[in-house]
Structures are given as C-alpha cells and as structure tokens.
Amino acid sequence: MEMNVKVINKSGHSLPVYQTDLSAGMDLHACLTEPVTLKPLERMLVPTGLHIELPAGFEAQVRPRSGLAFKHGLTVLNSPGTIDADYRGEIKVLLVNLSNDEFEIRDGERVAQMVVAKHERVEWLEAEALTDTERGAGGYGSTGK
C-alpha cells in the first residue's frame, strides 16, 4: 500500500527512500553546512532539511539505524521520536553518543530511519473496574522466569 505525502526538501540530498521492497523505514540524511562531532554522552539535534505534511491519522516515527547503534553507539534519544500530522517544521533527529569515542557526523550521513504509521485516537471511558486477565496487574518482569 502506498500513500502520497507532500514534502519540502531543503537539504540538497535525495528524498528518503526504502532500501529494499520490504523495508519499513527510510533513511534520514543529515543536512549540515559543516561536519559536527558528537562527544561521548553528548546529544544534539541533527537537521535533515525535510518538512512533511502527513495525512490525519498518521505519524512518522524517527528510529535509530541499527548499524550506527551497533558499530558506533549512536542512537535516537527519544526513540521513537514522533512527528505528528500537524507538524510543519523541519524534521530533526535527536542523536546521542553512548560510546566512549567521538563520532563525526558529515553532511549527507544517514543518521536515522523514519517509519510512517497509522494510529488511532482514543476516547477514554472511565470505569470502576477492568476485565480480569491471567496476568492481572503483574508488572515489569512478571511474565518471565
């Protein structure tokens, strides 16, 4: 299933694309005038130069790239970051360096991936009780050994 999404691209780089036919995410590229260095435990907003107009009922999720996370310890701090359908500003990626080494980010570097997903809106129904389940109120780790 495909959908059309309006995009303004001020980056000078190609638009995000799916790398394979079955990919869920598209890579986002850094839009920088000069390289920046991310020190250990430092975080920064990395601009992409992209502005999008999603239809109502959809969000764009900004997620880490597995290769950057595994090889260099870089991840998206608020993962997944949510881009709401009514946001028209530039998409920026909140990266954090969890390694012990500095990492240089250059213009055009693939810094994150973006997944567009449908979502539902909730209308809360206040209640005095919830349906019983086998798990019940068991919290963190309650279903493991």
| CA dist., res. 90 & res. 48, Å (int) | 7
Q: Is 65 annotated as a binding residue?
A: yes
Parallel, antiparallel or unpaired: strands 58-63 and 81-83: antiparallel
Q: Is 4 annotated as a binding residue?
A: no
> By C-alpha distance, which of 43, 105, 52, 99 is closest to 76?
43
| CA dist., res. 133 & res. 127, Å (int) | 16
Q: Is 66 annotated as a binding residue?
A: yes
Q: Is 43 annotated as a binding residue?
A: no
Which residue reads 């430092």 in tokens?
42
Sequence letter at residue 68? L
| CA dist., res. 113 & res. 5, Å (int) | 17
Residues recorded for the chain:
145
Which residues are annotated binding-site positions for substrate?
A: 65-67, 78, 82-84
Which residues are annotated binding-site positions?
A: 65-67, 78, 82-84
